[in-house]
Structures are given as C-alpha cells and as structure tokens.
Structure 1
C-alpha cells in the first residue's frame, strides 16, 4: 500500500494555511513526585482576606505538612476545599522534589527552559534593532553628507550631524 503525506489528503486551500511538519520535540520533563498520604498531615483552616462570609465562616483553606522534611504549605486559592487540597499537594510535591533533586527537579527544568527562551527572544530583538540601526546609518550617512555639503542654512546640516552624534 502506498503511503501519501497528509498534505495530499487536504484540499489545496487548506494545505496552504497549515504546515504539516512535526513540531520540534523538547526533552520530556521528569515525572511528578508522588507523596504518600502517610507522610502528610492535613489541616483544614478558616481562610482570611477578601471573599466575605463564605471565606471567613468555612474551613476551606488547606494546610499540608510533610513529616519527613518539615515543609508546610497552605492553599486558599479557591473557595472549594477539594481544589485547595489538590493545589496544596502540587505545591508540596514541587517543593519536596526541589529539596531532593535541586537543579534536576521539574520546576528547575521548567524555569531554566523559560529563562533560555526569554534570553533567546531578547537576543533576537537586539539583533533586529541593531540591523535596523545599521541600515538607517548606511542610508542616512549618504544623505547626511549631501545635506551638510549643499545646505546654505544650518538647520538641515545641524540635525543630521546631531543624529549621527547620538548613534
């Protein structure tokens, strides 16, 4: 049986707008740390802050303590106790993993990727503006000489030389 690429199956109008190439795959992240329930102490507390009566009268905030490390995490992100417990477990797992693995932890790898992506973006932006400046200098350099040499009044020549002095 002959295999055809996906682009052959799509109508021409659609295949022009969508690329069929596979995205570049990043190295997969390590699996999330699983913390056994025996190592946790769960406490449900009354919340504080904005939210009014629902927050102040119900025990919807969750505080998790990890017995082996002594790390304590409190979550009051939502009004739901179950959602707060889920968020607190994720935060606790991230902190324990960071304590155990250091730079090899999931959060450190994510932060490193974000930092590198931002640095690449900044580098690309600097390169773009540097190329634009070089193009403007090359174009204004020829005009600036003509303005200074042929101009009788000092306004045109003065602004061209002031611009060249700033760059």
Structure 2
C-alpha cells in the first residue's frame, strides 16, 4: 500500500526504557553530604526599598534608567544596593538575598549559613592542598628510590667486571 507523499509513517520509537532491577548509581555519597542550613529570609515589613539610577561603566543607558535597587533593613539599619542586571525585579531579588545573608550574619555570627559555607570551602581547599602535598611527596620518594636503585645497579655491574 502506497502512502501519499504528505503522510509519512511514524518512525519506530527510539526512547530508552531503563531496567529498574539494576543500580545505575550509588546513593552512598549522597548520604554522606552534610545538610546546609536553609537560606535566610526577611519579612517584607522590615524592609524599605527604592529604585535608583545606576552608575559606573555601561554607557548612557545605565545612567538614565532607575534599575538599581537599594534596600534598607529597618531593625539593623543595614543598607544593600544592587545593579547587577538591567531588570528591576532581578536586582531586587539579588539585593534581598544579599540583605538576608548580611542580617543573618549579624544575628547568628558563626552559625549563619554564610559562615558555614565559608568554613566548608576552607576545609575543601585545605584538603586539596594536603592531598597535593602528599602526592608530590610520594612522587619525590619514588624518584629518590629509583635513583638509589640505579646507583646500586651501577655498582653491581662494576663489581661483576673485576
């Protein structure tokens, strides 16, 4: 049976159907991850905000439009300004997040999310440097061992000639 040129037969389905009886990944690493504290939030009633004209590089457009956001947290009198993007709403979200982190850092100190994230990054960096030092120390040890073995092999060859 011939099909008209406008109608085509549907191709065979090429979708992959996974087998659920086999494990494709391990969840052990996911269980070992420490849970970070929740992101801080601020009540909108504690904030006053205004839109300002931006400044800095970017030509005339940034100087003419009021897309920069300045938020003030009234209880702590903390001020945050953001002009990261051209969008007011995105700048407001960014400023609100920065303000929440600053207020939490003032209130909780070392127990805040920002402090815990900084500690985690510092531990990872220290672990990486320790691992690289261990690696290079092992390489130097191997290099020294090989040179000693080569020297001993040279001495054995010279003793065999006598």
Give the counterpart of 2:86 among 59, 63, 79: 79
**Is 1:50 matched with 2:57?**
yes
The answer on whether the counterparts of 1:98 and 1:108 sit within 8 Å (CA) in structure 2 is yes
Question: Does the 8 A contact of 1:54 with 1:79 survive in 2?
Answer: no
Question: Matched residues in 2 for 1:19 and 1:132: separation?
Answer: 33
- Uncovered stretches (5+) of structure 2, i.e. residues with no partner: 1-17
Query: Which is helix-richer, 1 or 2?
Result: 1
The alpha carbon displacement at 1:78 in A equals 0.3
Structure 1 window deviating more from structure 2 (133-142 vs 82-91): it is 133-142
**Cα distance per residue 1:128-156 (max 9 Å; x no partner):** 11001001001112324638x96xxxxxx
CA distance in 2, matches of 1:124, 1:62: 44
Structure 1: tracts of 5 or more residues without a match: 1-5, 151-167
TM, length-normalised to structure 2: 0.76
Q: Does 1:120 align with 2:132?
A: no
Bigger RCO (CA 8 Å, 6+ sep): 2
Q: Quick one: which of 11, 20, 29 aligns to 1:23? A: 29
> Considering only CA atoms, is the larger Rg found in Structure 1 or Structure 2?
2
CA, structure 1 residues 64+8, in 2 after alignment: closer, same or farther (shift >3 Å)? closer
RMSD: 2.2
What are the Cα deviations for residues 63-83 of structure 1, in whole angstroms up to 9, with x where unaligned? 111111111100010010100
Alpha-carbon separation, structure 1, partners of 2:82 and 2:150: 64
Instruction: Assess if the C-alpha contact under 8 Å between 1:46 and 1:58 holds in 2.
Output: yes
SS of 2:39 mapped into structure 1: coil
Q: How does 1:2-151 map to 2 (within 5 A)?
A: 9-10=21-22, 19-24=25-30, 25-144=32-151, 146=154
